[in-house]
A and B are shown apart, each in its own frame.
Chain A
Amino acid sequence: MNDSMNTAPQEVLLRAEHLYKNYSTGKKGREVHAVSDVNLSIMKGETLALVGESGCGKSTLGRTLIHMLPATSGSIYYQDMDIAAMDDKQFKPYRRKMQMIFQDPYASLDPRMTVRNIIAEPLETYKVCATKEETTERVLKLMDAVGIPGEFLNRYPHQFSGGQRQRIGIARAIALQPELIICDEPVSALDVSVQSQVLNLLKDIQHAFELTYLFIGHDLSVINFVADRVCVMFLGCICEVAGKDELYSKPLHPYSEFLLDAIPVADPHRRNRQRKVLTGEIPSPMDLPKGCCFCTRCPYATDICRKERPELRDLGDGRQVACHHPLG
């Protein structure tokens, strides 16, 4: 997929333009800027990973993109239709095209519903099947696709392990044959031994159902495994968008560099290697710095960084960086 990305121009599935999402704090004029001025394109069939530290707005961005949260301003184009300004009724036909897989498999399944009813809920909501038997048959097929034995049809979520629960969540997300799935840290709550199984399942299903993933995560090794392109976020702003291999071998934004440097290396000889340690405070998302979001912590920051916010610039090769002084 990576190779094709650089050669053939791909179809854009979802595109955000100047997207803002603010939360009011109850006090007048004091707003939390969870997502500010995001421009982002998700290509059909790719896995775009969204990385960043906790609280940087990755989940908020993911939810805003699929209309789970109303955008404060800006536009989101889904196949050239602006869905950001739609109300719930207008958005309804698009809702089933965009589904979500949640972080905590223990919280994302209703404890009082059987597996059958959990997976059947999307089918019943859109009246996909005419009869109950047909619905159950579809549910069994979906369970088979995610590797849950059919005899567990009438079990309750608490009777499953975390990995199996996440499989049920995946079955629910693909039930309506969506085009885009937002995976909100789908494996970070799982045991490491189960993580790879779920990730492999996600990959298999992506091929089988021609899905596009927006994969939200903070575990860089997980992202290295699943992503085609990576989008690095800091404090609600996009720092860098690049192909996975390009980013991992040569980050251009200082924040990406620090993020990648923080990956632990399983090599005792390199135990004493010089680590790059960030200093400075993370600015409050309630009053962002006038210039670059990262300027308070960036060792390369100059006056222009503190005065002017860098635009997300295209550097060719499908790489975009929001930095006045890109590395390399």
Chain B
Amino acid sequence: MFEHEDKNMALNEDLQSQIGERDGIRDKLKRMCRENPLAAVSAVVIAIIILMAIFAPVIAPYGEAEQDLINRLQAPSAEHWLGTDELGRDLFSRMLYGSRLSITIGILPSLISLTIGVVAGLAAGYFGGWVDYVIMRVADVMLSIPSLILAMVVMYTLGTSTVNLFIALSMTGWSSVARVVRSQTLSIKQSEYVEAARSIGVGRWKIMFRHILPNCIPSLIVLFTLNVPSAILSESSLSFLGIGVKVPAASWGLIVNQGRQFLFTQPWLCLAPCVAIMIVVLAFNFLGDGLRDALDPYMQR
């Protein structure tokens, strides 16, 4: 009797690998790398940039704010790969140090807003009723305010500092996460395996965090990779406007702001950080798109 079923199963597995359905996250990622090389390259680029940020003090030929007033506004050369700014600081080194802040600001507030959004969305979807109503109306209000303006208000009221920048950027992203998680929770809540857990007598918190949350993870990965570039862009905009990071610390947005006055005479001062921002944002977007295609069951061919 089991022999028969074993055969049946082998057949089934064969069939499944052909159809490409119902396989684990790892298989889906492998397939993504095969079918969507752009996403794979993006992942590599992101990994390299993160490594560069981590090892900035090792790689950077000069210090973050090391001034060399004799060699001001130099063009790119063998000594200064990306030239120097108006205080003779090596742009390449500043870019490396700046990437630490820009990448952290991309990832950390996204993680915070992801956490807030997950908790809010789970609670709204699972408990429903007035909990749902209150949470979702707050989320709607947050969504209706342009995130950059909200961040500016927060920065003005709390003062400009790196910590406040984190707070400002964390506050904006959670409402869209909450919406997605809520809708997922609503559909997973109706599934038979959640009913099975209820029939066993599993508590509601355990159901939320053992059954519903793990099944939301594919959409959370995608949301995260799409949130990161928008946070990086927001930080750049805020720093460009002068209410983000303060000198002498470096961030890509700040470097653009400082290079702006030399746009016509020394354009590389502006171009280099802009290109860096563009590469990171594009890489995260491509990776997010690839992950969405790979993990979203509705987009499968």
Contacts and interface: CB of A to CB of B under 8 A. Distances in A.
Interface of A: 66, 68, 92, 95-96, 99-100, 102-104, 107-113, 121-122, 125-126, 147, 149, 156, 158-161, 163-164, 169, 172, 176, 194, 197
14 contacts: A92-B201, A100-B199, A103-B192, A107-B193, A108-B195, A110-B215, A111-B215, A112-B217, A121-B200, A125-B206, A149-B2, A158-B22, A172-B196, A194-B5
Contacts of A102: 192, 195-196
The 4 residue pairs across chains A and B that have the minimum distance between CB atoms: A108-B192, A95-B201, A107-B192, A158-B22
Given A68-B195, A102-B192, A102-B195, A122 B200 contact: yes
A176 B202 CA distance: 13
Interface in B1-22: 1-2, 5, 8-9, 12-13, 16, 22
Contacts of A176: 200
Interface string B101-120: 00000000000000000000
Contacts of A125: 200-203, 206
A126 B16 contact: no
A107 B191 contact: yes
B199 A156 contact: no
Interface of B: 1-2, 5, 8-9, 12-13, 16, 22-24, 191-193, 195-203, 206, 210-211, 214-215, 217
Given A110-B214, A111-B193, A121-B202, 20 more contacts: A68-B195, A68-B198, A96-B200, A96-B201, A102-B192, A107-B193, A108-B196, A110-B197, A111-B215, A112-B215, A125-B200, A125-B202, A126-B201, A147-B1, A147-B2, A149-B2, A161-B5, A161-B8, A163-B5, A176-B200
B199 A99 contact: yes
A164 B1 CA distance: 12
Contacts of A149: 2
B25 to A, nearest CB: 9
B199 A66 contact: yes
Q: Which of B2, B192, B197 is packed against the most chain A CB atoms within 10 Å?
A: B192
B9 A164 contact: yes
Contacts of B2: 147, 149
A197 to B, nearest CB: 6
Contact of A164 (B5, B191, B192, B200): B5
A75 to B, nearest CB: 21
Nearest to A92: B201
Nearest to B13: A159
A121 B197 contact: yes
Nearest to A191: B8
Contacts of A109: 193, 196
Given A158-B16, A197-B1, A169 B201 contact: no
B296 to A, nearest CB: 15
Contacts of A160: 9
Contact of A110 (B16, B22, B211): B211
Contact of B192 (A92, A99, A104, A113): A104
